[in-house]
Structure 1
Amino acid sequence: MRGGTKQDSDPPVSLQPGQVAFRLLCRVHSAGGVIGSSGSVIKRLEALSGVKIRVEKALPNCHERVINIVGDATVEKKISMVVSSGNGGNEHEEMVEVSKAQEGLIRVFERVLELQGNGGNENDDINSNSKGLIGCRLLAAADQIGAVMGKGGKIVNGIRNSSGAKISVLKEQMPACAAPQEAVIQIMGGVVAVKKALAAVSRCLQDCKVGERTPGQKSSHGVSHDSHKDSILNNNSDSPTFSGNFV
């Protein structure tokens, strides 16, 4: 059984006021390694970053699974990223300010890279194209994409320039695990570039003021996808919940 002993579905996680949820896509064959034996890896990542992590069930004919990361949206932490000056130059440490939710997202993505053979070696050909690029795919509500793009693409172009990553928004040929009215934010580049861009993109999503929206629709696997309400959420019984299981 992939990921260790099969467990019953985790108890749902409600999105509380002051929290944000990120939805990271990973390949189906990598999900077990993100979960770990009896959920050991998820438990370690949750303890490290103070978030809740739920992996949604695999869907037929879908090559990806959704990892929900739910945590506080307050930017109060700093994490280290090793940044290369390029062309074989020296590396230096750069501190990036993040929330607990963002740190959880980045730590989960780092685990995915480890499983796919790209834990830090940008020359590794596993899960890379001929130029050694790796990818990261996030699901986001379609009405939040403007917060990442900015007027005339100003924000996304700034992230591209500062990180060196390529960022695109895909609204067609969506994976079956996506909810209606979601889009894929795809980030491509070297390991460092993608991680820097992921921090910046997730910050835009986190800071986005969702405003009044209808309650989230539920997919066929029963997870509410009104998933990016953050600090403006009212504390009520309609708060979105996220479920998952260890398989």
Structure 2
Amino acid sequence: MSMIEGNGGIYSVTSNGEVDKPFKIFVGYDPREDLAYEVCRHSIFKRSSIPVEVSPIIQSNLRKNGLYWRERGHLESTEFSFSRFLTPHLANYEGWAMFVDCDFLYLADIKELRDLIDDKYAIMCVQHDYTPKETTKMDGAVQTVYPRKNWSSMVLYNCGHPKNKLLTPEVVNTQTGAFLHRFQWLEDDEIGSIPYVWNFLEGHNKVIESDATTFPKAIHYTRGGPWFDTWKHCEFADLWFKEMEEYMK
């Protein structure tokens, strides 16, 4: 089996020339964080041992295609605050796909995360118990507090699950933030749990040097990443800058 790169993904080709279906990953995109998106994408490709297809969720493209029309609210800190919930639709309601914010840095093979998938769930995510201390984040955006905060920042979607077929463009464009970010179209037992190291919140989660299970597999710079001047000295900034330099090369 060999790996080839093209069309935004890395694919594996079997000995008889067939191409394996890649694992679809949709990354939230905001023009202010273009470099964050590119570094996140690079960190996924660099470590992946399975075929992956990485696609940015770009709001302007969604609007052109008639998939997104809601007006931006004053509490939306990024352009993908709500468009993220189009993931099952963008995956044609087939198979499993992942959504992730662009402010992530992957330190482990995405195959490890995909192998956690359990078909009995409609979605799977890290179920944080997180209340931010800061009142602002990123480049001065308002830091909001709500139940299940950060659960929607990285989600494995069982796109063919009947419940996720409720996430039509109409619903994503008209439903409340509470309905979407708290996964209110699902019952609690339809939400699977993933270890927190796959959505390791910089400034909140802690590494215990004597316990390898606490080492992050994906760092989430949720308060603001090193690509913002205000946050260039945040925890794990050195890892992000190293990855950025590799991407630039």
TM > 0.5: no
Q: Which structure shows the bigger proportion of residues in strand conformation?
A: 1
TM-score relative to the length of structure 1: 0.32
TM-score relative to the length of structure 2: 0.32
